[in-house]
């Protein structure tokens, strides 16, 4: 019997700093290694038939980290865009970034827009990076837009209507959300979209999360019975 493959897999990439510290390295080295794991997971998602792969790269709360670390992470994002450009194009991957882009530096926004445009017609896999994102911010910005754009019919608003105002409009809700490093919480991530997601928690730190770990998560998903509140 063929295994059930999730359409959309999302990862809360946790443990980069701890991984580096255990290696006796600076925290930033963990983030560099973490980028390599994203590439590996993208390749494995393609191989397994996953259509959307998203990652929680930087939360709204992460802006409270030391300025030097935040600056490095933004530089790493900028560098990764150019380093991964050829691979994304060759593998038919569409690149997208979602979040509160008003907080992102103009030069990084420009680089993001450039790669999004270059990969817009790719349809093998969508790689979605959540940057400067939080679930509460997403819901709030949707509510504000609705209040401005359709105040007269707010009472008749459906859940589908509301979803169309979230930054993920047009993207399927995640079937599977993976969190690494042993933490078992959602951390303000995809609060609306993850209402019926399956969760997979692992003690593995993100820089050690590769193809085999992803396969284990996908196999765990395939073994579950998703009922959405119904009786089967």
The predicted-structure confidence for 125-179, as pLDDT tens digits, reads as follows 999 999 999 999 999 999 999 999 998 887 899 999 999 999 999 999 999 999 9
Tell me the C-alpha distance between 65 and 14, whole Å. Answer: 15
| Span 34-82, pLDDT tens digits | 999 999 999 999 999 999 999 999 999 999 999 999 999 999 999 999 9
Nearest to 136 by CA among 53, 63, 58, 60: 60
User: What residues form DSSP beta bridges with 207?
Assistant: none
Tell me the C-alpha distance between 91 and 152, whole Å. Answer: 46
| Span 178-221, pLDDT tens digits | 999 999 999 999 999 999 999 999 999 999 999 999 999 999 99
CB atoms within 10 A of CB 107: 10
| Whether the predicted pLDDT of 85 surpasses 50 | yes
Query: Across residues 96-103, what is the average pLDDT?
Result: 96
Computed on alpha carbons and rounded to an integer, the radius of gyration of the chain in Å comes to 18
Is 62 labeled as catalytic in the residue annotation? Answer: yes
DSSP 3-state of 131: strand
Mean pLDDT of the chain: 94
Neighbour-count burial of 27, counting CB atoms closer than 10 A to its CB (0-12 exposed, 13-18 middle, 19+ buried): middle
Is 153 labeled as catalytic in the residue annotation? Answer: no
**pLDDT band at residue 1 using 50, 70 and 90 as cut-offs:** very low
The DSSP secondary-structure symbol of 102 reads: G
- Look up the pTM and report it: 0.94
Task: List the catalytic residue out of 62, 100, 122, 188.
Answer: 62
């Amino acid at each position: 019997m063929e295994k059930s493959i999730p359409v959309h897999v999302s990862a809360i990439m946790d443990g980069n700093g701890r991984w580096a510290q255990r290696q006796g390295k600076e925290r930033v080295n963990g983030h560099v290694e973490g980028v390599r794991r994203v590439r590996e997971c993208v390749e494995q998602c393609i191989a397994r038939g996953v259509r959307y792969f998203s990652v929680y790269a930087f939360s709204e709360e992460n802006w409270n980290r030391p300025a030097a670390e935040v600056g490095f992470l933004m530089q790493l994002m900028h560098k990764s865009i150019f380093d991964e450009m050829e691979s994304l194009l060759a593998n038919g991957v569409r690149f997208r970034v979602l979040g509160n882009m008003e907080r992102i530096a103009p030069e990084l926004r420009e680089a993001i827009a450039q790669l999004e445009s270059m990969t817009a017609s790719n349809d093998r896999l969508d790689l979605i990076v959540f940057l400067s994102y939080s679930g509460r911010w997403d819901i709030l910005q949707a509510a504000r837009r609705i209040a401005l754009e359709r105040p007269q019919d707010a009472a008749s608003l459906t859940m589908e209507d509301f979803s169309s105002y979230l930054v993920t409009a047009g993207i399927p809700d995640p079937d599977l959300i993976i969190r690494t490093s042993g933490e078992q919480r959602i951390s303000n991530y995809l609060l609306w979209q993850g209402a019926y997601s399956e969760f997979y928690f692992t003690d593995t730190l993100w820089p050690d999360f590769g193809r085999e770990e992803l396969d284990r998560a996908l196999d765990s998903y395939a073994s579950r019975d998703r009922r959405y509140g119904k009786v089967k």
